[in-house]
Structure 1
Amino acid sequence: MLQSNSFQAANRIEDEDFSVIDIPFLNDAKSGAVRLTRPAIIGNFPPRQCGLATFTRDMYACLSMALPKAQWSVVAMNDPGASYDYPAEVTHQLPQNDIEAYRALADELNTAGNDVVFVQHEFGIYGGPSGRYLLAMLERLNMPIVTTLHTILEKPNAEQRLVMDALIRLSDTLVTMAQKGKDILMRVYQVPEARIAVIPHGAPSRPLRDTTSFKAELGLTNKKTLTTFGLLSPNKGIETVIQALPDIVRGCPNLIYLVIGATHPHLIRNEGEKYRDSLKQMARDLGVERHVHFINSFVNDAELVDILQATDVYVTPYLTETQITSGTLSYALALGRPIVSTPYWHAQEVLAGGVGALCPFKDVHAFTLAISNLLASDTARTAMSQRAYQAGLSSRWSAVANAYVTRAEADAERRTEEPGIRAKVIGDAPAWGAIERMTDSCGIFQHGKYGLPDREHGYCADDNCRALSLAARLSNISPLTPRQIELTRIYAAFMNHAWNHDTRFRNFMSFGRQWLDDGGSDDCCARSFECLVDVARSNLPEDLRTWAVSLANDVLGKTTQWQSLRARAILIRCLVRGFGVIGDPQEVQVLVRKLGQSVHGAYRHHARAGHKWFEPYLAYDNARLSEGLILAGQFLVDNAMLNDGIDSLRWLMQRQTDDASGCFVPVPTSHFKEDSQGRNLFDQQPIEVVATVEACLTAWTVTTDSLWRNEALRSYAWFHGENVHSLPMVTADGGCYDGLNPNGFNQNQGAESILAYPLSWTALKAGL
């Protein structure tokens, strides 16, 4: 395969006939753009033998010419058990199945200040189910991501859809090489048109030349040549052409069919040369073996271009339409070769209007006629050659490089103008349909039966306060709709009624609107107080804010009676957030110190080697404890509190990471009140996700360590299928299933789960 200078060697500028640069590259004088100085590119790379490796190398070569002053990071993917002698341009090697290496690479690129990454995406080259390990890297990156999609599946399976949805969410620009790819992205994946760039597969630039001199150099003088090029595999449809040869040869006895390319490595690994041998046997059986030359090697670019320029008719007889792009077709088109092809997607587009000839799949007779007619008429071949050459002008590598650089610079400039644009990774705001179907004129129902409200269990303050907090926090991001304001008033009225005017918020109410308790748990009361603080600090209507401040001040003096550890941690969070709005500032500061010392004392009492935690066991809503201590440490300028809070959260995140996949694993209910070192997986509940997302964002805000932002994103991805079952947990109307169990997800949708999802989104939207 090619060495580091292969691209230049293959496209050397020897004279005007071999000029590569037919379209000028961008120059540094371009005004109004963010110039790229530290780009990165990731994909396969030679000497690994595959089309994607060749493409990545050529992309790097043309982009480095377009950005001559840039300092590049070139990342080559290594398949399992393989090692390669890469050229000097390759700065990083990434083992396919080492998820920690993906994360480490992202951190290294961030630290180095890389300003864009060009990702070559193909299913099968990245580790994890359908290549999910790549997402672990992309989620951590601080820079624009330009992803070239070499395959776009119209009917992906569940894992492939999960990966595609994440790629779409994480990429600033999605590049497809054909209009068909753009259509699929918009129709199947609902990608906005503005996020998509159609940039053709690159190809070399050579003038349109007669085949005679090239045939002489290759020992093909006085021969008519057909050519098919690429890694040999059954989907290439070589059989169709071989079966057509007996009739073609009768009219053109000096024909040679060149089948160029090594057998695909996966095929070699599984069955050796069985497929190639079957093609040779077919040619023998049909009596055309001397007309078929198999070149079983991975030829370099210079050799390929010479062979194509010696070709009278280029053939791509692929067997299925679902191919967005063909690099060999792009090369043949750019070199002005007459082309006969089956109508796979790429060929349909570029060969339309007589640019080439299209034949039905596996139609031997059609291929016979199309090829024979071209071989028999110099005039027909010349006319088709000229049409192909003109059609291929836009695919010259220099033009392709200009398109990529222009797009990447626009993405970088947009991020500069919109500092919060990193929040694109979390997608659009969740719909409120699920919240509406769970709410009546009294409040939000506590439990669900599948997607229905379960009236038997009525309502609870725990969930109505969460709904009110959500509305308040959302109002700080964008104005609420009239319907959302209407629902907000319902939740506020419920919480107003829940206060028992003594020391507690009542929690449980029947469907008949009768209170079932005199006062909820300490944790319920703290959460109820928190919603008042959220409303007080919101952009909700003034009357709601006034009500919240008044009731919060009434409740504040009773909070010292709520003794549970989580209640104290939540109160720290409330008081820090409401400082200057709720209560007397000096009294609040004294209370935060008292609460912080209490939470810190629990940590110091129970923490030990291998168990950096506040209790003998992990329970529910765990990350609230770490977040409370971190906030107390920051608020009180107490580094011991702050550092112990960070250490506890780091320990918790280690416990909430699956060893096999690296995905987020919320502490399951089966693990409550256990202190074993085993990693139980089920049942996992959304309440742990929102607590973890918010705690990690707090850690990021306080420490500015990007690790915590990335951990928040990794936790949030649990909702979208980055979990041990690879199951998306959310529904189209903004709902969320009640959790993961050993067999999949719990199909019920209770209020706690439905609210955990948009609460997590709101935290990320506000915090990123």
Structure 2
Amino acid sequence: MKIAFIGTYPPRECGIGTFTHDLFNSVISDNNRQENVNTGFVVALNDFSNVYDYPQEVKLTIRQEHQEDYIQAVKFINHSGAEVCILEHEFGIFGGQSGVYILPLLHRLEIPLIVTLHTILKSPSYNEKAVLQEICKMAGKIVVMSHKAIDFLVHIYDVPEERIVLIDHGVPDIKFSAEKSKQEFKLEHKHVLTTFGFIGRNKGIETVIKALPGVIEKYPEVFYMILGKTHPNVLRHSGEEYRIYLMRLVKTLGLEKNVFFLNEFLDVNDLFKYLSATDIYITPYLHEAQITSGTLAYAVGVGAAVISTPYWHAAELLANGRGKLFSFGNSEELSSLLTELLDNPVELKKLKEKAGEYGRNITWPKTGEKYIAVAKEAVMQGTLEMEKKDTIMDLLILPPFSLTHINRLTDDTGIIQHAKFGIPNLKEGYCLDDNARALLMVLMAYRQIKDLRSLELSPVYLSYIHYMQNKDGTFRNFLSFSRNYLDEIGSEDSFGRTIWALGYLLGNAPNDAYYQTGRLMFFNAAPNFEKLKSIRSIANTMIGICYYLRTSPGDDSMTERLRNMAHKLIQQFDANQSPDWQWFESLLAYDNGMLPLALLHSAEILNEDKVLEVAMKSMQFLTAHTLKENYLSVIGNEKWYKKDGERSVFAQQPVDAMAMVLMYHQAFHVTKDKEFLNKLYTSFLWFLGENDLRLSLYDFETQGCCDGFEVYGVNRNQGAESSLAYLISHLTVLQAYEEFHKVGS
């Protein structure tokens, strides 16, 4: 079996790197003596600009903050012949917000995934929880190192327990004589206390130092060794502030002869010599929130007597007489406990024997065997289904339709344009685009599900549109929270979106008062239809006209306007298209699906072959660039996709996903091809996590929709545009579901 490992790796000085190295060697070693040879390679994570001289098993590196490296890495893994991938997960080693950059790699992985979780937070942030949940969804098996971790995954992260495997943190199978080790370090006549690992304030080393005077008073030969470098992240932000503080504390307490700092990242042989020379090992961490501790596992594994604060892993690992616990930050209690153990050599010996007995069962060779068994099971059972399947419309995974966030954003003037997270940002006021979208959404909601709150909101948005219309039929766009106009005339895009909403109103008015108000505004604006220059404004206006003409097919004048506008889009297409670029412009920008959508609507009204032909060609071209890996990847607005250029992954916007949902819905209407309903549903799942980052844009807590993806991860602000885009898409899925069953599944 060939295994791909992803994690940090030596010579990078990192606890996860040491773990990955030890796991790799335990799984791959001694193959010459085995019938079924295991081979493998490592994909290593580099931090910042650091470059390392890796050993030969490292075949590829990923720069932590370079998204493109993750995509290159998964391509390499998929074509490497590897049968399974083992990921070492720790939030801080991957790029993006909460390590989100690892998700696109895992999503594209074509072999089963096993993930080892080194950190599981009890109170994760929104993004931390979302990232970890997505990783667990994609993993066939999830390896943890404590029962507490299983409890957290099941009850906080909703991970099925049957997919979780408990494998203890491995320890090197290295034995040194305690007597010889003490002699080598000239510690023969010392009571040796030790703490090792990266140094940082959360390690609580000052607790031990403050406990020493009381112990040394009775046992002056006590010698405390603090082994390890300052953590790289601490060093980067605070330098050696903490180490200097500890050294000053030692001097203040007069402990210079009893405390020793070794500022090195020790190799495993030297480390185990020091641990073998240790009488009592101490982990004085200040907080309970540590689900795994490699340093603790090593100390128990070597058979040291261990004293620790009761953080999660320690409370579990040191149970049943394998160690002693003392309260967080309690130097007096620690001093008493140390004195008590030094007073009682028999008790000290029992602790060592208990720890050593347990340690013999968690050596790396035995841990490696357990990982191999998990890997074989993942491969044999096909735990991660990699075959691409047709999308099946499943309403059970949709959140309930809710106007909660829309109610939060709406006052008696209209819908507030922006939000800070889920809270309306009144400073930004209102805009025409969003109130037009809001009118469209509530009209759809009333038509589709007879939502009474939608009917109550309709006049709010309709009156905003009326308030913003100028005498010449154009519209202003922006209004301050104090109801002051902020522009004289809005953008063509805002005009087009408003006509779309008004046209939908004329075709689906819930009562005559709304119809008459909408009709006045629609026809007041009509003289401006053919003055439009922006092709997206033209497209939005065409959609509004089509909705109007479906209930007023005898309006020949408006039909001709629609025909003229459709031909403008076709002329744009003919001017820019080539055999490999079937599009209206020399770039794919924003709201792309609206252009084929407008022609698909027009094709039903105009019955012109050319209109339908361009609609289908442009839709197929857009599909090829955004829906080619069985999930939607809309064109990011960070850097638009120019012909012969590279497309942007980031700054993906919900309105672009909405346009794709609407486009495929209308394509089904025109063609009756049920495959377009599949594509519609796939596009909608973009909102719920089937996207490049594998993160949900829909916020189940606020019931709003986040504003999009940025390079760092999800933009958690939940403005009107994004939330309305989600709800319009949601309602379209509900409508499509009914139509799907009408034509037969």
1:508 corresponds in structure 2 to 508
1:272-287 matches, within 5 Å, as 272-287=239-254
1:229 corresponds in structure 2 to 196
Are 1:318 and 1:361, in contact at CA under 8 Å, matched by a contact in 2?
yes
Q: 2:73 aligns with which of 94, 105, 109?
A: 105
1:191 corresponds in structure 2 to 159
Q: 1:684 aligns with which of 639, 645, 655?
A: 655
| Distance in structure 1 (CA, Å) of the matches to 2:73 and 2:599 | 28
1:395-414 matches, within 5 Å, as 395-414=362-381
2:272 corresponds in structure 1 to 305
| Distance in structure 2 (CA, Å) of the matches to 1:47 and 1:221 | 33
Q: 1:389 aligns with which of 356, 359, 364?
A: 356
Residues 73/650 of structure 1: CA separation in 2 closer, same or farther (3 Å cut): farther
Q: Give the CA deviation at 1:84.
A: 0.6
Structure 1 window deviating more from structure 2 (156-165 vs 232-241): it is: 156-165
| Distance in structure 1 (CA, Å) of the matches to 2:157 and 2:248 | 44
1:128-207 matches, within 5 Å, as 128-206=96-174
| Distance in structure 2 (CA, Å) of the matches to 1:428 and 1:184 | 29
1:377 corresponds in structure 2 to 344
2:185 corresponds in structure 1 to 218
Cα deviation code 1:568-617 (max 9, x no counterpart): 9xxxxxxxxxxxxxxxxxxxxxxxxxxxxx99998554326997514688
1:74 corresponds in structure 2 to 42
Are 1:228 and 1:260, in contact at CA under 8 Å, matched by a contact in 2?
yes
- Is 2:729 aligned against 1:753? yes
1:485-500 matches, within 5 Å, as none
| Distance in structure 2 (CA, Å) of the matches to 1:390 and 1:667 | 59
Structure 1 window deviating more from structure 2 (738-747 vs 43-52): it is: 738-747
Q: Which amino acid aligns with 1:128?
A: G
1:744 corresponds in structure 2 to 718
Q: Give the CA deviation at 1:295.
A: 1.0
Secondary structure of the 1:160 match is: helix
Are 1:664 and 1:714, in contact at CA under 8 Å, matched by a contact in 2?
no
1:728 corresponds in structure 2 to 697
Secondary structure of the 1:91 match is: strand
Structure 1 window deviating more from structure 2 (364-373 vs 106-115): it is: 106-115
Are 2:281 and 2:306, in contact at CA under 8 Å, matched by a contact in 1?
yes
1:560-639 matches, within 5 Å, as 603-607=573-577, 612-614=582-584, 619=591, 621-622=593-594
| Distance in structure 1 (CA, Å) of the matches to 2:58 and 2:686 | 31
1:582 corresponds in structure 2 to none
Secondary structure of the 2:192 match is: strand
Are 1:162 and 1:720, in contact at CA under 8 Å, matched by a contact in 2?
no
Residues 238/681 of structure 1: CA separation in 2 closer, same or farther (3 Å cut): closer
1:40 corresponds in structure 2 to 4
1:501 corresponds in structure 2 to none
| Distance in structure 2 (CA, Å) of the matches to 1:392 and 1:716 | 47
Identity over aligned residues, as a percent?
28
Q: Give the CA deviation at 1:293.
A: 1.1
Structure 1 window deviating more from structure 2 (293-302 vs 246-255): it is: 246-255
Q: Which amino acid aligns with 2:20?
A: T
| Distance in structure 1 (CA, Å) of the matches to 2:727 and 2:327 | 55
Are 2:181 and 2:273, in contact at CA under 8 Å, matched by a contact in 1?
yes
| Distance in structure 2 (CA, Å) of the matches to 1:424 and 1:247 | 69
- Is 2:23 aligned against 1:59? yes
Q: Give the CA deviation at 1:190.
A: 1.2
1:500 corresponds in structure 2 to none
Secondary structure of the 1:352 match is: coil
| Distance in structure 2 (CA, Å) of the matches to 1:694 and 1:110 | 34
Are 2:45 and 2:62, in contact at CA under 8 Å, matched by a contact in 1?
yes
1:230-249 matches, within 5 Å, as 230-249=197-216
| Distance in structure 2 (CA, Å) of the matches to 1:264 and 1:353 | 32
Cα deviation code 1:228-280 (max 9, x no counterpart): 01011111111111111111112222221111111222233333323222212
Residues 308/641 of structure 1: CA separation in 2 closer, same or farther (3 Å cut): same
| Distance in structure 1 (CA, Å) of the matches to 2:197 and 2:736 | 47
Cα deviation code 1:43-93 (max 9, x no counterpart): 111111111111111111112138772332311111111111111111111
Are 1:172 and 1:411, in contact at CA under 8 Å, matched by a contact in 2?
yes
Secondary structure of the 1:353 match is: coil
Residues 732/403 of structure 1: CA separation in 2 closer, same or farther (3 Å cut): farther
Q: 2:283 aligns with which of 316, 329, 351?
A: 316
1:253-264 matches, within 5 Å, as 253-264=220-231
Q: Give the CA deviation at 1:449.
A: 13
Are 1:664 and 1:718, in contact at CA under 8 Å, matched by a contact in 2?
no
Q: Which amino acid aligns with 2:141?
A: T
| Distance in structure 2 (CA, Å) of the matches to 1:609 and 1:512 | 49
- Is 2:93 aligned against 1:125? yes
Are 1:120 and 1:148, in contact at CA under 8 Å, matched by a contact in 2?
yes
1:453 corresponds in structure 2 to 454
Q: Give the CA deviation at 1:327.
A: 0.6
Are 1:447 and 1:750, in contact at CA under 8 Å, matched by a contact in 2?
no
Secondary structure of the 1:314 match is: strand
Residues 409/66 of structure 1: CA separation in 2 closer, same or farther (3 Å cut): farther
The unaligned stretches of length 5 or more in structure 1 are 1-36, 459-503, 528-560, 569-597, 629-639, 672-676, 696-708, 763-768
Q: Which amino acid aligns with 1:754?
A: H
Residues 204/619 of structure 1: CA separation in 2 closer, same or farther (3 Å cut): closer
Residues 646/357 of structure 1: CA separation in 2 closer, same or farther (3 Å cut): same
Residues 237/685 of structure 1: CA separation in 2 closer, same or farther (3 Å cut): same
Structure 1 window deviating more from structure 2 (606-615 vs 331-340): it is: 606-615
The normalised TM-score by structure 2 is 0.66
Are 2:27 and 2:38, in contact at CA under 8 Å, matched by a contact in 1?
no
| Distance in structure 1 (CA, Å) of the matches to 2:25 and 2:577 | 54
Structure 1 window deviating more from structure 2 (722-731 vs 173-182): it is: 722-731
| Distance in structure 2 (CA, Å) of the matches to 1:614 and 1:275 | 61
- Pairs aligned (count): 588
Residues 743/225 of structure 1: CA separation in 2 closer, same or farther (3 Å cut): closer
Residues 288/759 of structure 1: CA separation in 2 closer, same or farther (3 Å cut): farther
Residues 512/710 of structure 1: CA separation in 2 closer, same or farther (3 Å cut): closer
Residues 83/667 of structure 1: CA separation in 2 closer, same or farther (3 Å cut): closer
Are 1:226 and 1:315, in contact at CA under 8 Å, matched by a contact in 2?
yes
Secondary structure of the 1:231 match is: coil
Are 1:311 and 1:337, in contact at CA under 8 Å, matched by a contact in 2?
yes
The unaligned stretches of length 5 or more in structure 2 are 407-442, 460-503, 520-539, 548-558, 601-613, 642-646, 667-677, 709-714, 739-745
The normalised TM-score by structure 1 is 0.64
Are 1:738 and 1:748, in contact at CA under 8 Å, matched by a contact in 2?
no
Residues 627/401 of structure 1: CA separation in 2 closer, same or farther (3 Å cut): farther
Q: Which amino acid aligns with 2:593?
A: D
1:343 corresponds in structure 2 to 310
Secondary structure of the 1:354 match is: coil
Cα deviation code 1:605-636 (max 9, x no counterpart): 432699751468865635967999xxxxxxxx
Q: Give the CA deviation at 1:130.
A: 1.5
Cα deviation code 1:154-205 (max 9, x no counterpart): 1122222232222122222222211111111111111111121221111123
Q: Which amino acid aligns with 1:225?
A: V
Cα deviation code 1:327-357 (max 9, x no counterpart): 1110111111110000010000011232110
Cα deviation code 1:681-704 (max 9, x no counterpart): 767354235469999xxxxxxxxx
Are 1:737 and 1:753, in contact at CA under 8 Å, matched by a contact in 2?
no
Residues 711/511 of structure 1: CA separation in 2 closer, same or farther (3 Å cut): closer
Q: Which amino acid aligns with 1:139?
A: H
Q: Which amino acid aligns with 1:510?
A: P
Q: Give the CA deviation at 1:106.
A: 1.0
Secondary structure of the 2:320 match is: helix
2:604 corresponds in structure 1 to none
Residues 430/220 of structure 1: CA separation in 2 closer, same or farther (3 Å cut): same
Residues 412/348 of structure 1: CA separation in 2 closer, same or farther (3 Å cut): same
